[in-house]
Amino acid sequence: MDKEIKRIAVFTSGGDAPGMNAAVRAVVRTASYHDLHVYGIRRGYEGMIAGDIRRLEKRDVGNILQRGGTVLKTARSQEFRTPEGRASAHESLMAHDIDACIAIGGDGTFTGANIFSQEYNIPFIGVPGTIDNDIFGTDYTIGFDTAVNTAMEAVDKIRDTAESHNRLFFVEVMGRHAGFIALNVGISGGAEMVLLPEKETPIEEVIARLKKSAKRKKLFSLVLIAEGNKSGRAREIAAEVKGQLDMFDIRTTVVGHLQRGGSPSGFDRVLSSRLGFHAVEGLLNGKENVAVGIVNDKIKYTPFEDAINKDKSLNRDLLRMAEILGL
């Protein structure tokens, strides 16, 4: 990239995540420090196509660090998947003389950025913002820690009523095709079992495990289920085992979009600030078409192709520990 960067655009895209505002704030503050002009694009690629773009200055990102959601709003754009949509988006950026973009979102956001940046030779830096934590090239994504804490607090409340009524609860958490949230909530919430996409657990194994608990007169239990679990979601699993576990009074809870809201945790605020800060400094140091991440506490820039296509593996040792601690 040869053109000097003086004007950058930032946007949030895909599922919102607690901490996105902290990342936007860090982008604007860091860019201002380097005398760059920053433009906020509202509603992700939808807003880029529509030209919903306005200047952001330091004072515009005051008092947002602690807020959940995204002040720039977000969207999932079908139109951006078309060449015509991307052409309109390019016109919008050119109308504001944008030299580079910072895209805060997940793999879908990075996929769009990768295609667009190659079509129009505009440098992009991706900031991994999704509660799913399923982005290769960073140990943690923005929003994951907050989502785990939110779901864990919900599980603690479910545990109270499960114990009072001697009930078996199947609790479903988000994560799309990944089990990072389920595994960490299973451990922190003291679940008996965790069912997740990365490790197939036959229904017979679930039944056998719970029958053993019943033999030990343990009639209240929590089973954590990732929504991407291949043998079924909470309601499906509950229906399937109902006939074979008549000693249990079974209920299900789907934590749902609670996991996407709330004020970001301290961890997420620091992570988001670091990623936003290094997204800007990376652009100024010639980085382009990469996702910024933190691996073993070191800043890392990963080409979009890898960030999008390489699988981030679940910690198998953590999974084994969870299975043993749940006995």
Catalytic residue among 132, 134, 145, 268: 132
The answer to whether residue 114 forms part of the interface with ligand F6P (CB under 6 A) is no
Residue nearest ligand F6P (C-beta atom)? 15
Cβ(185)–Cβ(224) under 8 Å? yes
CA distance 103 to 40: 11
Check if 132 is active-site. Answer: yes
Interaction pattern, residues 189-218, with ligand F6P; x per rule: CB under 6 A: ------------------------------
What number of CA atoms fall less than 13 Å from residue 20's CA on the CB side?
34
CB of 259 to ligand F6P, least distance (A): 7
- The CA–CA distances, whole Å, from 324 to 146, 164, 193, 206, 317 equal 26, 25, 9, 14, 11
Give residues with Cβ within 8 angstroms of 183, minimum separation 6: 194, 196, 226, 314, 315, 318, 319, 322
Binding of ligand F6P at residue 75 (CB under 6 A)? no
SS (H, E, C) 128-141: EECCCCCCCCCCCC
Among 15, 40, 282, 293, binds ligand F6P (CB under 6 A): 15
Tell me which of 6, 176, 199, 209 binds ligand F6P, using CB under 6 A.
176
Q: Is 175 in the site for ligand F6P (CB under 6 A)?
A: yes
Q: Does 260 bind ligand F6P (CB under 6 A)?
A: yes
Site string for ligand F6P, 116-135 (x = CB under 6 A): --------------xxx---
Q: Which residues have CB under 8 Å from 208's CB, separation 6+?
A: none
Choice between 89 and 131, CB closer to ligand F6P: 131
268 binds ligand F6P (CB under 6 A): no
The verdict on 154 binding ligand F6P (CB under 6 A) reads no
Q: Which is nearer to ligand F6P, 130 or 289 (CB)?
A: 130
User: Residue 21 belongs to what H/E stretch?
Assistant: helix 20-33
Q: Is 174 in the site for ligand F6P (CB under 6 A)?
A: yes
Closest separation between CB of residue 255 and ligand F6P, Å? 11
Q: What is the torsional sign of CA 126, 132, 137, 142?
A: positive
DSSP state of 314: P
| Nearest distance from C-beta of residue 256 to ligand F6P, angstroms | 9
Q: Which amino acid is at 266?
A: G
307-324 burial, b at 16+ Cβ within 10 Å, e below that, comes to bbeeebebeeeebeebbe
Just list the catalytic residues: 132
Site for ligand F6P, rule CB under 6 A: 15, 106, 130-132, 174-176, 227, 260
